[in-house]
Chains A and B, each alone.
Chain A
């Protein structure tokens, strides 16, 4: 595998001055069992603000459960999940999203019988018109906001090369286009932290490379922190400076890919297995 890209290294360097507010996400001793299985077992890790952090581990390591715990789709049995200084472990998913922590799903999920533009327009959180009365009355303030969001949506669609598909039903898009739309949609929601669950699974290398460019661009230009769960280690190495390794529900190591490759526990749990 190649060396960590200079871009990622630079980002890591600026983020090394650790202090409380450079940590955007702090998972503390979190556990979750399903029946007798401890899917996430006293797991702790942190994500640095402004970073692109990877979360890797063999199948069954508890990564997806961790993602569901962080985003509120599953409630933790124990532990804290501090996001932006506040415990979000007991919030329902929509409240977590409103705090600025948004996610994508392992299998892309679209609002299929809504157009690409509508998928984008559904994303912003503070829409006045989503209140029943304001929406019904369609006051000038609502229309103005709607217009602004439409312009932002179209701009983002252009950035993601989906502009020509704006009036297409999301359900008619190809797999790759769905990935792009899903990313564009969560970016539209203007999150502080974006959790991507296997964004590179099942897409061709060309698109994967483009997707990773978008992720770096969104991190740089919009200041979004990324936490990426991924099996494609080449992509992880290319994108992420810090990588967290999970195995059997726990974090077993953290560092750059280069460091991790020297780590016996990691090699044992994961990298050595192939």
Chain B
């Protein structure tokens, strides 16, 4: 054993070229490390789905049943009691698309928010870029949503829409929405890891967001009927959930009310890129602190 100079461990570390552990990694190195773990992200997401299916036979079915039952309740309240089904053409397809598309974002964000706080054991046992966890959750939700989108397509056809080539537009819509949702999921993964109360408050924020996003009504009509300023319509229609829902309806449905202007696509791209980059940087900045008790 060499003699230990206890007065200056830091100087000794410098002399032998040792570096402090657990320091904030550089962004570029972090992204590279994350890319090297891409197989882990994919396997982790797939394993969690397989585990869920193994644990309950209805597991996968609930992914579809849940939005369907929600849609049933909304149909009763908004369609029948508040009379939206008379104002909107093909109201069932309109409502189902809104509910399923919104559910994709809200489920992804909820899953992402629990990705660090729900995997503390893993964070404290193995070394890997922590962004693996929210990304695995996002991929998991994407795979599950794939199943429910097939159900949505069948239901939309059953309620009277004919499939056209325009349906292919749903793919870029889902990809852009995935990027947006991943960005927000990263933000809430960090917030929930740092302040646990956020997990309690998030479902309410998502519910309010849903009611503001025209899932069960047409935003422009609603604002007009309540003597709202047109600027309110623009603001509500420009919110990311409304943008992706409108584009999905535009892809799946063929009514005058669901046609969307082209600038909706520019908004959809901006809402995909800015939150993803911002959310990733926000998450990365706390990398060295995840796992603290």
* Chain B binds chain A: no
